Amino acid sequence: MPSSPRPRVLVTRALFPEHVERLSSEVDATLNQADVPLGVDELVAGLAGVEGLLCAGGDRIDETIVARADALRCVSTISVGTNHIDLAACERRGIVVTHTPDVLTETTADLGWALMMAAARRVTESERWLRAGHWKRWSLDQFLGVDVHHATLGILGMGRIGQALARRGAGFAMKVIYHNRSRLAPEIEADCRATYVSREALFAEADHLVLVLPYTRDNHHVVGAAELARMKPTATLTNIARGGLIDEDALADALEADRLGAAGLDVYEGEPRINPRLLALSRVALTPHLGSASRDTRRAMGDLAIDNLIATLAGRAPAHRVV
Ligand code: DGY
């Protein structure tokens, strides 16, 4: 009896060798090991007759694409965020969307912590200065920053990553305050030693504010001129969620006018393009969307995305279905 054909899968990004091996043993995969970004036309052409799409955060999977992908049954993204996928369009067509939560929580919280520390203690700014050969002597007032220990950590968005950040606060003897769409259960608040406050109080009271909320149409530029004006002039603002949460020109205005202490950014509106005003400012620590980028975590994310994809294509329930 002829065996049934293996499902066809399009992969948009270069994968680790072990992921390629596993995927190739289970499906008929079209790979992109050269990591060449696929435009809309290439995605549409590549998805003809294809049942599974393995993609990542920077791939825009919108209505134009899914409407023309007649055979598509599953979009599996190697990311926890799904704002790059038109979920409603997928749902209307019965296309399952899966993502990779949990495995990246602690790694992403680590990067948030690193950026917050870098912004508060001027780590990247002073390193650039040192490398440029400017350091001639030690002096009492060189690159003075603000303390992280015993300061107030503010967290906007208290999901898994927000909670992981809050738990780190205990090690630095910080007071932790948070705002979230809904208040956490008392036992989770106690575990995180975090106090729920209004959004206004969060902006006003935080010495170090970290954004960890998912990006949706409703919270576009949730940090704009009005919110920045509420913050302490010495405060730091760190974003490890999505660039569209911050009005970047308003942030540049605040930093240029010394109305905000410093910023730590891993994500940008329109990335990989960076607002030139942010690039020109010394008191901003910048990383290229590295939140989950440890070897183990990226490996785990790839494994999970492949598990989700293969389960769905085999007619089983994937572990992490979004729609
Ligand atoms: C995520 O998992 O959403 C990260 O931001 C990588 O895209």
18 catalytically annotated: no
Mutate to test the pocket of ligand 1, among 79, 110, 294 (most ligand atoms within 8 A of CB): 79
Task: Identify the band that residue 20 occupies on the pLDDT scale cut at 50, 70 and 90.
Answer: very high
Task: Give the CA dihedral 201, 240, 60, 39, nearest 10 degrees.
Answer: 140
Q: Which of 271, 277, 299, 321 is catalytic?
A: 271
Degrees (nearest 5) of the Cα angle 172, 178, 184? 110
Mean pLDDT computed over every residue of the chain? 97
| Ligand 1, atom 7, residue with closest C-alpha | 57
Question: Does residue 4 carry a pLDDT above 90?
Answer: no
Taking the centre of ligand 1 as the mean of its atom positions, its distance from the CA of residue 241, in whole angstroms, is 8
Question: Does residue 2 carry a pLDDT above 60?
Answer: no
| pLDDT given for residue 265 in this prediction | 98
User: What digits encode the pLDDT tens for the residues 63-116?
Assistant: 999 999 999 999 999 999 999 999 999 999 999 999 999 999 999 999 999 999
CA dist., res. 120 & res. 50, Å (int): 48
Taking the centre of ligand 1 as the mean of its atom positions, its distance from the CA of residue 170, in whole angstroms, is 26
| Ligand 1, atom 4, residue with closest C-alpha | 79
User: What digits encode the pLDDT tens for the residues 114-161?
Assistant: 999 999 999 999 999 999 999 999 999 999 999 999 999 999 999 999
| pLDDT given for residue 5 in this prediction | 86
Question: Does residue 251 carry a pLDDT above 90?
Answer: yes
Tokens found for residue 290: 């590295």
Mean of the pLDDT values across residues 253-276? 98
User: What digits encode the pLDDT tens for the residues 176-229?
Assistant: 999 999 999 999 999 999 999 999 999 999 999 999 999 999 999 999 999 999
Q: Which of 13, 208, 242, 320 is catalytic?
A: 242
Which residues' Cβ are closer than 6 Å to ligand 1?
57, 79-81, 104, 291-292
Mean of the pLDDT values across residues 254-260? 98
Q: pTM, whole model, 2 decimals? A: 0.96
Tokens found for residue 310: 């293969």
| pLDDT given for residue 25 in this prediction | 96
> Angle of helix 105-121 relative to helix 123-131, nearest 10 degrees?
60
Mean of the pLDDT values across residues 290-317? 98
Mean of the pLDDT values across residues 223-239? 98
Residue 181 CA, distance from chain mean position:
18
Mutate to test the pocket of ligand 1, among 61, 83, 104 (most ligand atoms within 8 A of CB): 104
Taking the centre of ligand 1 as the mean of its atom positions, its distance from the CA of residue 99, in whole angstroms, is 10
Question: Does residue 261 carry a pLDDT above 70?
Answer: yes
Of residues 43, 41, 47, the one with CA closest to residue 59: 43
227 catalytically annotated: no
Question: Does residue 1 carry a pLDDT above 80?
Answer: no
CA dist., res. 237 & res. 256, Å (int): 14
| Ligand 1, atom 2, residue with closest C-alpha | 79
Burial (CB < 10 A; 0-12, 13-18, 19+), residue 59, is: buried
Taking the centre of ligand 1 as the mean of its atom positions, its distance from the CA of residue 101, in whole angstroms, is 9
